[in-house]
Amino acid sequence: MSGIYVHIPFCRSKCGYCAFFSTAAISKYLPPFPEALAEEARQRNGELRSAPDTLYIGGGTPSLLSPDEIARVVTGVAEALDFDPSGLREFTIEANPDDVTPEKAEAWKALGVNRVSLGLQSLDDDELRIIGRRHSADGAVEAFGLLQSFFRNISVDLIFGLPGQTADSWLRSLRRALDLRPQHLSAYSLSFEERTRFTLMRDRGEIAEADERLSEGMYRSLAAMTREAGMEHYEISNFALPGFRSVHNSSYWTGAPYLGLGPAASSYDGHRRRRTNHPSIAAYLRRYGENAADTDCCGEEILTDEELIEEYVLTRLRTAEGIRTADFLSRFGERELQTLLRRAGRIKQSLLRRDADGMALTEEGFFVSDEVILDLI
Ligand code: SF4
């Protein structure tokens, strides 16, 4: 199992909560970008040791690219890495509702896209305005309907704990999103990341973080309503109808290798080596654009044994399957297993379910996952 992630670092405007690397200087940087991506893929051909199973085009806002631009991205990368995009097990593109048109959906489908991740974030117009999204709730619902006539696998994103959001407005957004019958739902609690507009506003006292009890209540209703809708809660923030778990994202949680292309993209070799491209489009184009020069491209990190175990516990416990004893033993040995089991023994069974085969967070444990995972590592 291996995957490719392509980062498209362009957005028309910046949402208040967002810390992802992107720029609004589209006309300056977009024209040479698809060819630079292909050049990076050519230079790094060979890093992924098996043919990719998944391709994920994220960002930023990949959907703002025209059909011609996205085709240059996909064919450039696929030719450089020698794979057929239409033969992938999963090929996802992230889309903003206000970019979705029949022409774009058709172009994505023709390229081999078989899954679209649609960023709804909320289905309340006031909340959408506060977070700086350009679409309306009705516009998002319309975009979903349009995508349905092209794709059988659509994921939607929601955020809870937004400034001004109430338990009722969250329930209304969630209900309306589930009524669309998406195959997959990702729902995240708002976090205040460094250097975002929201963090600045919070520090100036203009907005407040959601009360912990309110957020917990929102998460509980999320778990209950997705269950009623027949979805599996297969990762802390992810829910899917049977057969529609995200293959690409699941590979991040199971330590599979992936190649990340584009500024700020990370790669992992499946063993110890992690590489992160510098978050600068100018530097990226100097390295991979026309007149490419051998300039500094990225940071690299080799994980220690301790970091490998921490990462393993951290990612596996985010999933419903949790940690399997036999797998942990074969990777880290008896001594580390005994340490893990000793620590696990001190955690309440209502939070961490244990049996001879392994351990996993309970639904209750998902609510306080950070604390449980910290206790384990
Ligand atoms: S949330 Fe998405 S659209 Fe908004 S700034 Fe971040 S990457 Fe761009």
pLDDT at residue 295, as a whole number: 87
pLDDT confidence of residue 216: 93
Query: What range defines the domain where residue 129 resides?
Result: 3-253
The predicted pLDDT at position 293 comes to: 82
Ligand 1: distance of its center to the CA of 351 in Å? 34
Task: Please tell me the residue having the least CA distance from ligand 1 atom 6.
Answer: 18
Q: pLDDT tens, 341-372?
A: 999 999 999 999 999 899 999 999 998 999 99
Residue 288 belongs to a domain: no
How sure is the predictor about 294, in pLDDT bands with cuts at 50, 70 and 90? confident
Please state, in angstroms and rounded to a whole number, the distance separating the CA atoms of residues 183 and 231: 8
Inter-residue contact 80 to 48 (CB < 8 Å): no
**Cis status, amide bond into 60, omega within 30 of 0:** yes
Distance 26 CA to ligand 1 centre (A): 14
Q: Are residues 43 and 183 in the same domain?
A: yes
CA distance 226 to 232: 8
pLDDT of 292 strictly over 80 = no
Is residue 121 in contact with ligand 1, taking CB distance under 6 Å?
no
**Residue 194 lies inside a defined structural domain of this protein:** yes
Structurally, the chain folds into a number of domains equal to 2
Residue 289 inside a domain? The answer is: no
Instruction: Assess whether the C-beta atom of 26 lies below 6 angstroms from ligand 1.
Output: no
The answer to the question of residue 283 being in a domain is no
For the segment 72-86, what is each residue's pLDDT rounded down to a tens digit?
Answer: 999 999 999 999 999
CATH number for the domain that contains residue 172: 3.20.20.70
pLDDT at 314 over 90: yes
- Shared domain for 102 and 230, answered yes or no, is yes
Q: Is the CB of 359 under 6 A from ligand 1?
A: no
pLDDT at 183 over 90: yes
Regarding whether 354 and 226 lie in a shared domain, the answer is no
Residue 11 Cβ < 6 Å to ligand 1: yes
Assess whether the C-beta atom of 64 lies below 6 angstroms from ligand 1.
no
Write down the mean pLDDT value for the chain: 96
Place of tokens 């184009």: 285
- Does residue 37 register a pLDDT over 90? yes
71 and 176 inside one domain: yes
Question: What is the mean pLDDT of the segment spanning 155-161?
Answer: 98
Per-residue confidence band for 291, with pLDDT thresholds at 50, 70 and 90:
confident
Same domain, yes or no: 309 and 233? no
Residues 96-149 have pLDDT tens digits of 999 999 999 999 999 999 999 999 999 999 999 999 998 999 999 999 999 999
Verify whether ligand 1 is closer than 6 Å to residue 249 (CB atom).
no
Task: Answer yes or no: is the C-beta of 9 below 6 A from any ligand 1 atom.
Answer: no
pLDDT (0 to 100) of residue 317: 95
Are 249 and 309 within one domain? no
Same domain, 173 and 246: yes
Shared domain for 189 and 317, answered yes or no, is no
